Amino acid sequence: MSGFGWAFARDLTLALRHPGGTMLTLAFFVLVASLFPLGVGADPQLLARIGPGVIWVCALLAAFLSLGSLFADDFADGTLEQMMLSPDPVFAWVSGKIAAHWMVSGLPLTLLSPLLGLQYGLSSEALGALAAALLLGTPVLSLLGSACAALSLGARGGGTLLALLALPLFVPVLIFGAGAADAAANGLGAGPHLSLLGAMLLAAAVAVPFAGAAAIRIALD
Amino acid sequence: MNLFYLSSPSTFFHFAGRLAPWFFGLAAVLGATGLYVGLVQAPTDATQGEVYRVIFIHVAASWMSMFIYFVMACYGAMSLTFNSRLSAMMARALAPTGAMFTFVALWTGSFWGRPTWGTYWVWDARITSELVLLFLYFGYIALANAFEDPRRGDRASSLLAIVGVVNLPIIYFSVQWWNTLHQGSSVKLTGSSMHVTMLTGMLLMAFSFWMYAIGAALTRVRSIILERERRTRWVRALRPA
Amino acid sequence: MDHNFYLAMSYGATAVAIAAELVFLALGRARAWKQVNEERELEAQD
């Protein structure tokens, strides 16, 4: 996995040098999650029931926002073609880019989620399950979303096309992720949900970089 | 006859033109027979009364929605492995028909659910994954048409179709894996637990929809071939339709 | 609601969907031939 290292370091450095995009995504996440109680009313039982689902949907929306620029910036200035010329396998540096993307989008979201969960009055079991589910699920979102971003490189329709492509693939992650926190809140144990999320993560981590590599080759032809 | 001749758009154009009417004709005959068996011959259901007759459309449409996606993904895989233009065109030709059957499955299921389950919609595993299938079809069509270069659209949408195939087992096995309102499969390869007339009606409608789908795809692919290959000599030499 | 309503909505929507698809097939065919004829005219001008 010799390509993983430099791609990961490069993207992470770039993201940390220009924190605007990351901050924007996080701010969006927090903002939208805070809007729901205002719109729905402050009934604590209702908020505790919809909390996990709302926070997960906000995570999905934040993913749509941040995924657009994953390959697009490099594609626009020709860096992506240069990276294709590297002797390292394509799936390796694609994995590196995706990992760096998760570090600055999914991981901060996961770390912020207990605070948002408290806003919704979630119990401590639910908070723990939600954070664990996000920890397992946000990398899957980054992986699946990056494949869709690679497929839609240079397409008309931009961000909306990306959302349309990624939405069907995100649905299982959303269902099991929100379900994990719900199960924990109802005392049923989030084990099965988290196991399924873990399985999705393993499968996606292994398979998606190859799909992403194929998509980038298609885009660069 | 060497089947590879068929992979040339010019040969396939004429081949499809000769075959399509036969498939539409078969679809009409099978459909008429199936509707007769389903609406006239099949007995009234003990629990559901007359409304169960939605099954003759609902099940056939659901089967077709999944089957067409699978065939579309196969054509996509062929187009990527063999770099074949015609395979990609066939995949594009199938997508709208598949989306139509998915919509019909969801719609008829909804109007069947209201009198039997009490609700037009429920987020159970099978219905949700069928809705996801509809979004996959829309995504495929959108991606295929999102690029200036149609070949780029072919390849991108083929990859998307292959990735989305993972949804099909989820739809199929969802009634086994989760507790849902949907009943389990009553039709298996080894036999069926249904009344034989009902089963006959369902199978007739399923074959009718299948023949219709082939006819529609062959017709649509002819239009796609004409548009894509309009600068070639053989298209310019065609007699005006 | 009378059960015939649900049957009618189901069978009716299916008929409408198939009819709509056939209409769109015909429209697609007409559009394709229009493009072919435009291409022929362009070539004739050369």
Pair A152, A69: CB distance under 8 Å: no
Query: Which regions in chain A score pLDDT beneath 50?
Result: none
Query: Which regions in chain C score pLDDT beneath 70?
Result: 1
**Record: contact C6-B111, CB cut-off 8 A:** yes
Distance (Å) from the C-alpha of residue B132 to the closest C-alpha of chain A?
A: 5
CA–CA dist A77, A67 (Å, integer) = 17
Taking contacts as CB-CB distances below 8 angstroms, the residues of chain B near C9 are: 107, 111
Locate B145 and state its tokens. Answer: 């048409």
Does B209 reside within a domain? Answer: yes
pLDDT at residue B185, as a whole number: 62
CA–CA dist B141, B119 (Å, integer) = 31
Note whether A221 contacts B: Cβ–Cβ < 8 A.
yes
Residue B89 to residues A125, A148, B211, B220, C5: CA-CA distances in angstroms?
52, 22, 19, 9, 40
Phi-psi region of B124 (alpha: psi -120 to 50; beta: other; left: phi over 0): beta
Does B7 reside within a domain? Answer: no
CA–CA dist B205, B42 (Å, integer) = 13
Q: What are phi and psi of B191, to 5 degrees?
A: 160, -175
pTM for the model stands at 0.87
**H-run or E-run covering C6:** helix C3-45
**How many Cα atoms sit within 13 Å of B64 on the Cβ side?**
34
Does B129 reside within a domain? Answer: yes
Does B238 reside within a domain? Answer: no
Among B80, B138, B143, the residue with its CB nearest the CB of A151 is: B143
Locate C35 and state its tokens. Answer: 């493009």
Does B207 reside within a domain? Answer: yes
**Record: contact B159-A215, CB cut-off 8 A:** yes
Q: What are phi and psi of B44, to 5 degrees?
A: -70, 140
Domain that holds residue B99: 17-41+48-233
Give chain A's domain count. Answer: 1
pLDDT at residue B92, as a whole number: 95
List, in sequence order, the alpha helices (H) in chain B: 9-36, 55-82, 85-117, 125-144, 150-164, 167-177, 196-228, 233-236
The interface residues of chain B toward chain C in range 55-114, judged by CB-CB distance below 8 A, are 57-58, 61, 96-97, 100, 103-104, 107-108, 111-112, 114
Does B31 reside within a domain? Answer: yes
Among C14, C32, C40, the residue with its CB nearest the CB of B236 is: C40
Q: Which of B83, B138, B143, B170 to mutate to test the interface with A (most CBs of A within 10 A)?
A: B143
In A27-110, the DSSP E strands lie at none
Does B3 reside within a domain? Answer: no
CA–CA dist A109, A141 (Å, integer) = 12
CA–CA dist A84, A89 (Å, integer) = 9
CATH number for B77? 1.20.120
pLDDT at residue A211, as a whole number: 92
pLDDT at residue B181, as a whole number: 64
Closest alpha carbon to B166 in A45, A199, A163: A199
Locate B229 and state its tokens. Answer: 């290959």
CA–CA dist A55, A202 (Å, integer) = 23
Closest alpha carbon to A4 in A74, A98, A85, A70: A98
| ipTM computed for the complex | 0.89
Chain B CA closest to residue C19: B100
Give chain B's domain count. Answer: 1
Query: Which regions in chain B score pLDDT beneath 70?
Result: 1-6, 179-193, 240-241
Residue C9 to residues B14, B32, B33, C24: CA-CA distances in angstroms?
38, 19, 21, 22
**What Rg do the C-alpha atoms of chain B give, in angstroms?**
20
The angle that helices A2-17 and A90-104 make with each other, rounded to 10 degrees, is 30
Distance (Å) from the C-alpha of residue B220 to the closest C-alpha of chain C?
A: 6
Domain that holds residue A111: 2-220
Q: Which of B65, B111, B134, B233 to mutate to test the interface with C (most CBs of C within 10 A)?
A: B111
Does B227 reside within a domain? Answer: yes
Could you tell me which residues are beta bridge partners of residue B192? B187
pLDDT at residue A221, as a whole number: 78
